[in-house]
Structures are given as C-alpha cells and as structure tokens.
Amino acid sequence: MATRQEKKPANILSIDIGGSKVKFLATGETEPRKLASGKDLTPAQMVEEVRRAARGWKYSAVSIGYPGVVGDNGPISEPGNLGSGWVGFDFAAAFECPVRIANDAAMQALGSYEGGRMLFLGFGTGLGSVLIVEHTIIPLELGELAYKAEHTLSSRLGRAALEDIGKKKWRKRVLEIVPSLQRAFLADYVVLGGGNSKHIPKNGGSLPANVRLGHNLTAFRGGYRLWGIDDVPTLKVNGEQRPRSEPSGDWRLL
C-alpha cells in the first residue's frame, strides 16, 4: 500500500470496468479507448486486451474502477456481471507496474467532486453510491435499501427496471427518489453518473435543484486523483507487504 514517501507517478492509465464495456485513458491522452466486457470477461483477459489496446501510451501506474467491493489487496467479491477469478488476482504483476483499485462508483465520484458535501449516484446494472464530505470518500450501498414491497433501490433503479418499464417511467422514478436521498445525506449537491445516466435529461431545468449529470470522463479523472491519496492501497509488482499509511489530511478513503 501507499506510504507518504511513495512518489506520485507521472503517467497513469485509468481503467473503468463496466458490464458491457471496459474504457481506459492515459495521462496526456484525449480520446478514451474501449473494449467489450461481459459475463465471460476474466481479469487476465481484461489485462491482456487493455495492454494490447493501450500500446503507444506511456504510463507507469494503473488505476482500476472495479464493479464490486474492494479491500486492501484488491477485489474481495466477484462481480455479478463479469467472469470469475477477480478475487486474489495479481493485477500489479499482470500490468508490470503498481496498481490502485477502487470501487467503480467511488472512482467516478472522486472525479466528479468539486468540494463540500457531495452525494454521487451511479446508474448501471444496479445503483452505485458514494458520499464525499470535505475530501473524505465514503462508499455506500444505497442500492440495498428496501423500497416498497419486496424491492430495493437497485431493483427499482437498475438496468433491469429501465428495460422493463422504459426510459420515460424510469426517469420519473429516478427524479422522484433523488431529492429524498439528497435531504437524507444533507448533500450540498448530487451528481448522477453511470452508464444509464445518459437517459436522464441533460437540460438543467429538468433536474431537481443542486442535482447535475456527471461527465463521461470523470471516472478517468478519478483514477488520476486516486494516486494523490496517501492512504489508498497500492498493489506492488514485487509482492511487498503493503502497510497502510496515515492519511495526510488532504484526502481519505474509508
């Protein structure tokens, strides 16, 4: 894991893993590249295909936004919408450089943050959620909250619900729920991201007060910012023990 003495890399490859696409962008580049994801994608395949597609880009470290729960040594649960083998996989050895991994919603939230108290909601297969309060990043699982009989927020706002009820009804459902979550977390503002946020109107007048859509490049920005946080675990190529450092006071990931 990171220590305060660890030098911030000059060039970072930021990877956002989704259920249908894997998107990635390196420091200094302007156009993301992508490859197909899906239920058969393994971590070894992901690394091989990303490294091949990123040839010509310079990077000395990697950030990964992972669609699942992340611990000090990487993923601690297998994703439901990808292949198997993610838990325990040695990403640093596979990429041959240091790697930092965060939950995909946390990485998108980090890239969207503009100060104060922000609630991030990521609309994809389920509902990703993160609260950032004065540079402290708090991953949430709001998708697990019960919502009406035998439903959760994920089942009401996830991809299956969108496909079942259509875009118009799904948008209405989203815009009804978001203000309540904003009030519950005393958020100064809410950012709506994730792949399905594209179905939410971009006209600011159609959104509740202090709610905005995230940009599709924010996940990459979050990956770059991840290397500026002292207490984020860094997976080392040589398999060294990874002692956690104390947060510097600028950023903290809980």
In degrees to the nearest 10, what's the CA dihedral of 145, 77, 100, 91?
-160
pLDDT for 25-52, tens place per residue? 999 999 999 999 999 999 999 999 999 9
Is residue 231 over pLDDT 90? no
Give the distance from CA 15 to its chain's centroid.
9
Q: What band does 124 get if pLDDT is binned at 50, 70 and 90? A: confident
**More reliable by pLDDT, 91 or 124:** 91
Burial profile 13-41: b = 16 or more Cβ within 10 angstroms, e = fewer: bbbbbbbeebbbbbbebeebeeeebeeeb
Q: What's this model's pTM, rounded to 2 decimal places?
A: 0.87
Region 232-243: mean pLDDT is 73
Residues 226 and 34: beta-carbon distance below 8 Å:
no
Is residue 2 over pLDDT 80? no
pLDDT for 149-175, tens place per residue? 789 999 999 989 999 999 999 999 999
* pLDDT for the residue numbered 241: 42
Tokens read off for 87:
């838990």
Domains contained in the chain, CATH given: 12-106+218-253 (3.30.420.40), 116-213 (3.30.420.40)
Is residue 214 over pLDDT 50? yes
pLDDT for 179-204, tens place per residue? 999 999 999 999 999 888 989 876 54
